Chain A
Amino acid sequence: MTGLQQYDLVILGAGPAGMASAKEASEAGLNTLILDEQPRAGGQIYRNIGRPILQNRSILGEDYYVGESLLAGLAQASLTHISNATVWEVTGDNTLCFSAEGMSRQVGFKKLLLATGAQERPVPFPGWTLPGVMTCGAAQILLKSSGLTPVEPLVIAGSGPLLLLIACQLIRAGVRVEGIVETTPTANYGRALKEIGGAIKGWRHLLKGMRMLNEIRRSGVKFYKCATELRAEPGSDGNLASVSFRKGSTLHQLECQTLLVHQGVIPNTQLGRAIGLEHQWDEVQQCWKPTLLENGCSSHPDIFIAGDSAGIGGAIVAEIQGRTVTNEIVQQLGLKGKKDSEIDSLRKELADQLAIRPFLDYLYRPLDMFLRPQGETIVCRCEEVSATEIRGLVKQGCVGPNQTKAFCRSGMGPCQGRQCGSTVTALLADELGSNPSDVGYYNIRFPIKPVTLGELASLSQPAQDGTVK
C-alpha cells in the first residue's frame, strides 16, 4: 500500500509493557509509534500517573507512584505517541486503523506489539447487572482518575490480590466498608499449598499480601471468609439495595448502595482474536490466552505480545517482557540488540517474578458459581441472556459459541462478548461434557470498537500534511 505512513514498530497500549517497549525501541533507533485509547499513558496500574489527582499520596501507595519513572522514560523516548487513539482494525498485510479525535487513520508497520493488558474476569452472579454493582477495578479507576470514592454503605465481594489492594486503598481513603465478602473456596488453600515452593521464591509478593490482610484486620472491617451463594438484591427503585451470601450454615444480608466485585483479571484478547491469532485455554487460570513462542511472537510472524495480554503476570512482569520482546524485534529488524548477558539477567528476573504465579492461580481460582453459573443468572449482559437459556441451547443442537449468537443473540451486543465469551464457552463445555479448548470461542470481527461513518470516511482522505497527526 503506497502513501501510508510506515513504522518499524507500532506498540498498542501504553501500560508498563508498552512504555518499557517504547523506551527500548527508541534507544535501538526504531521508527516507533505508540497508541493508547486512554488520554494519558500509564495503563491500568499506573492510570493517570502523569497527573496524579489525589493530594494524599498514601492512599494509592508507593507501588502506584513507581510508574512515574516509566512515564519519564516514555517522555524522553524519540517516537510518536498518540493518546485517545482506539485501534479498531489490524490487517494481515501489516497495516492498522485507529480513531483519534473523531478521525480515523491507517498506518503500516513492520512489527506490531500488542500490549493491551488485562480486563477483570466477568463475574456473573444473581444481581450483577443492578445499578450500584461495579467492579473493584472500576472503583480504583474512579479513585486514580477523579479522586472519587463509592457511595456508602459499601460492600466488597470476591477474591484475589487486587481485591485486597483496592480494599486497602479505599479504607485508607476513609471509606467505611460494611464488609469484605471473600469467596476464595476453602479447597483452594490445600491445592495452593502444593505450590508453596514458588510462593517462597516470590516471598516479596507474599509479604505484600500478608501486609494487606493485616491492614484490613487492623481497620476493623468485617471480613467474611469462604463465602458462597453471593446475590445482589434490588430495592423498589430497581437499584442495588443489599447483598446476601452464605458463610457456613448462616445466611447473611448486608444493606449497601455500592457492591464492588472482583474475581481476578484475564488477558485482553479481543484484538488478537479479531486478527485471527491462535489462542489456547489455560485450565489453571480458567481463561484464554494467545499461543506464543518463547520470544513473544504470536502465530503471525510480525505480531508480538507482551504484558498481561500475553498471560497474567502483573506489572513488573509486563515491564520486563516489554523489554525482552522489543529486544527480539530489534534483532529481527537487523539492528543490534542488547548483550546476551543483559538478556539473560532479564530472563532470570522474569522467572523470579513469575515463580509465585502457580500459587496465586490455584489459591484464587474462582468459585464454580462464577465460572459456571446456573439458573436465571444473566450471562450476556448486553442481550440479557440467562445461564439456563445458554445451557438449554445444547439440547436444541447448539455445539459452539458462534451458534449461540444465532440462537439467542448472546455475544451480539455492543461489548462483542467481552463480558460473556468465557462464560458461554464454559457453559457449553459443561453441558456437552467436553472441555473449553474443544468448544472454542466466539469469532470476533473488526471493527472491535464502534466506529462512526464520519470516522470511516476520514480514512479515505489523506492527512493534510501527509502524516498522521
Chain B
Amino acid sequence: MAADFSFNRLPCNERAEVEITIEGHKVIALEGETVAAAVMHSGLRPTRTTAVSGTGRAPYCMMGVCFECLMNIDGKPNTQACMTEVSEGMVITVQQGAREIGGDRL
C-alpha cells in the first residue's frame, strides 16, 4: 500500500484503538471513525475502480451523497465506506468495477 497518500492525524482526545485490515495490511484505526477515514489515514488511493472504464476513484464527499467510497467491507461489496464505522477485525478491500450496489442489494 502506498503510504505517501496518508492523511495526517493531529493530536486527538483519548479514543480506543481498533485493528482492521486494509488490502491485506493491518492498520490501527480509532473507535468511532468511518472506514473511509481509516482508509485515507492508511494512504490507500484509489479505493475503487469504476464499472464503465475501470478508472480509479477515491472518497469525494464523506457524507453519503456521492457513492465514490464504495468498498468491499467484510465481504459485503459496494458498501459506502464513509457511512460505515470501523470495528475490530474488519477486513476492507478495494472495490473493483461492479455496478450494482451491494451483493444482495436493491
Q: Which residues of A contact B (CB under 8 A)?
A: 37, 39, 44, 51-56, 59, 86, 119-120, 129, 131-135, 137-138, 141-143, 145-151, 173-174, 238-239, 257, 268, 381-384, 413-415, 418-419, 447, 449-454, 456
Contact = CB atoms under 8 A, between A and B. Distances in A.
B9 A146 contact: yes
Contacts of A151: 4-8, 43
A447 B101 CA distance: 12
Interface in B22-66: 30, 32-34, 37-38, 40-41, 43, 45-47, 50, 52-53, 55-66
Interface of B: 4-13, 15, 30, 32-34, 37-38, 40-41, 43, 45-47, 50, 52-53, 55-68, 70, 78, 80, 82-83, 85, 99, 101-102, 104-106
A436 to B, nearest CB: 20
Given A131-B46, A134-B61, A151-B5, 13 more contacts: A44-B63, A55-B10, A55-B12, A131-B47, A151-B8, A238-B56, A257-B4, A381-B60, A383-B52, A384-B50, A384-B52, A384-B55, A449-B64
A239 B67 CA distance: 18
A146 B37 contact: yes
A73 B68 CA distance: 35
A44 to B, nearest CB: 7
B46 A239 contact: yes
A39 B32 contact: yes
B58 A134 contact: yes
A37 B40 CA distance: 21
A405 to B, nearest CB: 14
A138 B62 contact: yes
Nearest to A129: B57
Contacts of B32: 39, 51, 145
B60 A414 contact: no
B37 A148 contact: yes
Contact of A450 (B4, B9, B38, B106): B106
A413 B6 contact: no
B81 to A, nearest CB: 12
Contacts of B60: 133-135, 138, 381
Contact of B9 (A39, A120, A147, A452): A147
Contacts of B38: 146
Interface residue SS majority, chain A: loop
A239 B56 contact: yes
B10 A147 contact: yes
A9 B34 CA distance: 30
Nearest to B106: A451
B29 to A, nearest CB: 9
B62 A134 contact: yes
Contact of A239 (B5, B63, B64): B5
Contacts of A137: 61-63
Contacts of A134: 58-62
A138 B61 contact: yes
B85 A55 contact: no
- Rank and list the top 10 A-B pairs by shortest CB-CB distance, nearest first: A131-B58, A138-B62, A414-B67, A146-B37, A131-B46, A147-B12, A141-B62, A148-B7, A450-B101, A384-B52
Contacts of B56: 131, 238-239
A129 B40 contact: no
A263 to B, nearest CB: 13
B79 to A, nearest CB: 9
Contacts of B59: 134, 138
Contact of A55 (B4, B5, B13, B64): B13
